[in-house]
Amino acid sequence: MADTANSGKIGADWTTDQVAVVVANYFLMLERERQGEPIVKAELYRQLSSEVGRSTKSIEWKLRNVSAVLEEIGIPWLPGLLPAHNYQDALVEAVGSQVVLHPQLLTDPAASKPRFTDAGMLVLVDPPAFSNSDRDERTEALRRLVRRYDPAERDEFNRSLGRAGERMIVEFERLRLRRVGRDDLAAKVRWVSDLDGDHLGYDVRSFEPDGEERLMEVKTTNGHARTRFWLSANQCEVAASNPDTYRVRRIYHFRNGAQMFDVKPPLEAGLLMKADKYVVVPR
């Protein structure tokens, strides 16, 4: 994919070497940020502008492209560098090479900690529009990278991320109910998966202000709103058996200003559901 937009040089594509330099510096900044070091991005823009011969505006845009690829594979991006899409395959491949050199970013404990601790800062938004006719418009290079570092699989087995999301929802639900004067219901919000086990098909039991029960299965990711996630057969069965009270609560961008949305049964109406694994019994 040609990438002349915002290039700083009209009509001149970025070279593979230029892209590699910018991506490598992004990952160095990412490591420093994870270690708590202050990051002066404007200084880096000037340094890279001189090194690769591009404008500082162009450098910033390319760094935001890196954020967009990280979003696809569920790695939190650098604050202040919001994902910008429409990038070339060379950038995707450069990001993949840097992930190989920085594998700790895939399991970084910091990725399980939101950038804020007040559940009142969580935002509940409308779910993204899903369609059975949706096509994967990502390039083959990006599809390969996502398959290699499947965020759905990592999220499913990242227990610290899952628990952090569930804890935040418990706090959010209690705060939500207290704000409408239902302290009695707030006291009854229960972290089911923590206190009773994860076999019930949902993680949190909460309520609406009128007392109606809510059974919430919480799914947390550092990826975007449409990052894949897994649902077990048990979760799907519990959802189907409780169509009025069950909700899948999806938290996304957990490390980058978390937002969330709810999906209610029938789940197939709001989610594109595909079989991913089968239980196989020898005959």
- Tell me what percent of the residues of the chain surpass a pLDDT of 90: 71
Contacts 24+ apart (CB under 8 A), 153-161: 153/230, 154/74, 154/106, 155/74, 155/219, 155/220, 155/221, 155/222, 155/223, 155/227, 155/229, 156/229, 156/230, 158/107, 158/111, 158/112, 160/109, 160/112, 161/111, 161/112, 161/220, 161/221, 161/222, 161/254
Read off the pTM: 0.88
7 against 36, higher pLDDT: 36
> Is the pLDDT score of 275 beyond 60?
yes
> Is the pLDDT score of 82 beyond 80?
yes
Q: What is residue 109's predicted lDDT score, i.e. its pLDDT?
A: 81
**Main-chain dihedrals φ then ψ at residue 202, nearest 5 degrees:** -155, 160
**Per residue in 10-45, pLDDT tens?**
447 899 999 999 999 999 999 998 888 888 888 889
- Tell me what percent of the residues of the chain surpass a pLDDT of 70: 92
